[in-house]
Amino acid sequence: MAALSGAVVAPRRCALGAGAPAPRRARATVQPVRAVAAPDASAKASPTIVKGQVLHSATKEQLDVVAGLDAFAEEQVVPILKPVDKCWQPQDFLPDPESPDFLDAVRELQKRTKEVPDEYFVCLVGDMITEEALPTYMAMLNTLDGVRDETGAAPTPWGRWTRQWVAEENRHGDLMNKYCWLSGRVDMRQVEVTIQNLIGSGMDPKTENNPYLGFIYTSFQERATKVSHGNTARMAAEYGDDVLGKVCGAIAADESRHEIAYTRIVDEFFRQDPNNAMVCFADMMRKQIVMPAHLMDDGKHGILNSGRNLFNDFSEVAERIGVYDAADYCDIMEHLVERWDIEHREGLRGDAAEAQEYLMKLPNRFRKLSERAAARKAKAPPVRTQFSWIFNREVKV
C-alpha cells in the first residue's frame, strides 16, 4: 500500500460525487474523541460516532465470520508473503558505499536523473512520502476488530500477516528515499518534515474498525498503488533512467502481490456472508476511497502558494502527467465489481439488493462525471505552483 500501501499513494480523493447518499443510520450519541475499546459483540448500545464515523460498526454476524477465518488466513493469505531471503532489498538497486567506485556510481545516478522533469519528481516524492508513513497503516490495520494483533507479537495468522506485510512494505519507502537523496534533485529536509507531519496527522479512511470495510479499502488501495508505481516505472524508463524504472517496477510488483491477499479476504466475505459484504462494499464506494496521504503537509506549501493544499496540488500533478487519475479510480472500481461478481449475486436481502443495484450503476456514472470534470479542467488555464520538495521550483497544476 502506498499506502496502506498504500497507498496509496499518489492518487487523490476524487471530488466528483459518489452517487446516492449513504443510508441513514440509527440514532447515535455523539461523544468526544477518546480511546474506545472494541465492544462486546452481544451488547446492544448506541454506537459511538467521531467525526461522522461510526466506531466498531461490525455486527456480531460479521465478527463471527471473521472469527472463523483463521485457517483460511493461514492457507490463503500468509503464504503470499515472501521469505526474507527471497525478497529484494533497497541496496540491490543502489550504489555500494563500500565500493571504490561509489562516487562514480552516484555521479552516474545523478546524470541519469538530470533530465527527468520536475513534475515527475513531485509525483515520485509524493509516492515516497506516502510509503514512508507506514506506521500509520500498521496502526490502521490494528484498529480492525477481530483481526488486530493484540500483543504486538501475536502468533495468529492475522498478526503475522500484518507485521510481515509491513516489513515488506517498509522496503519501498527506504529505497525511494535513498534514491531521491542520491539524485540531488530533492530538498530532503522538506521531504523529512512532510513525512513527520504526515505520520503525526495519521489518516481517516472511514473504515470504522470494521474488518469488512478495512479489507475492501486495502483491496482498492493496493491496486491503486500498483497502478501509480507502475506508471512511474514506465515514465522513468522513457526519461532515460532505467534503474529508477526498475525501482518503481519492483515496488509495483509487491503491491500487486499484496492486492491478491486483500482481495482474497473479501472474496471469502462474499462467499460466506454476501449480504453484509455487499452492503459494506457499497458503503466504502459511497464514502469514496480517501487516499492514505490526504493529510500531508510540508509547512510551506500554503505560504508559498496563497493557501493552496499540498496534497491536492500533488494529486493534480499526478493526474496531469498520467501517474494516477480519475480514470484509474474508475477502472479499479470496475475491476472490483467484476472481481467480486456483483452482477450475478442472487437471493440478497433488501438492503444488500439495493447496494448491488447501486454498485452496478456506479462505475459508468462515475466515469461520466470524471470525463465532464476532466473536460472542465482542460479549459482552465494551468496554475504555476511552487513545491518545497524540489527547492521551491514551479510546476503546472
Q: Quick one: CA dihedral 110, 113, 114, 120, positive or negative?
A: negative
Which own/partner contact pairs does 190-194 have at CB distance under 8 Å and 24+ positions apart?
A: 190/298, 190/300, 190/388, 190/389, 191/125, 191/128, 191/129, 191/389, 193/298, 193/299, 194/129, 194/296, 194/297, 194/298, 194/299, 194/310, 194/389
DSSP code, position 384: E
Residues annotated as part of the active site: 88, 131, 169, 172, 222, 225, 254-255, 258
Grid cell for residue 154: 501475536
With beta carbons less than 8 A apart as the criterion, state whether 311 and 293 touch: yes
With beta carbons less than 8 A apart as the criterion, state whether 194 and 313 touch: no
- Residue 255 annotated in ligand binding: yes
Q: What is the spatial distance between Cα 232 and Cα 59, in angstroms, rounded to a whole number?
A: 41
- Residue 74 annotated in ligand binding: no
Q: What is the spatial distance between Cα 139 and Cα 154, in angstroms, rounded to a whole number?
A: 15
- Residue 335 annotated in ligand binding: no
- Residue 258 annotated in ligand binding: yes
With beta carbons less than 8 A apart as the criterion, state whether 397 and 320 touch: yes
Let me know how long the chain is: 397
- Residue 268 annotated in ligand binding: no
- Residue 172 annotated in ligand binding: yes
In the annotated binding site for Fe cation, the residues are 131, 169, 172, 222, 255, 258
In the annotated binding site, the residues are 131, 169, 172, 222, 255, 258
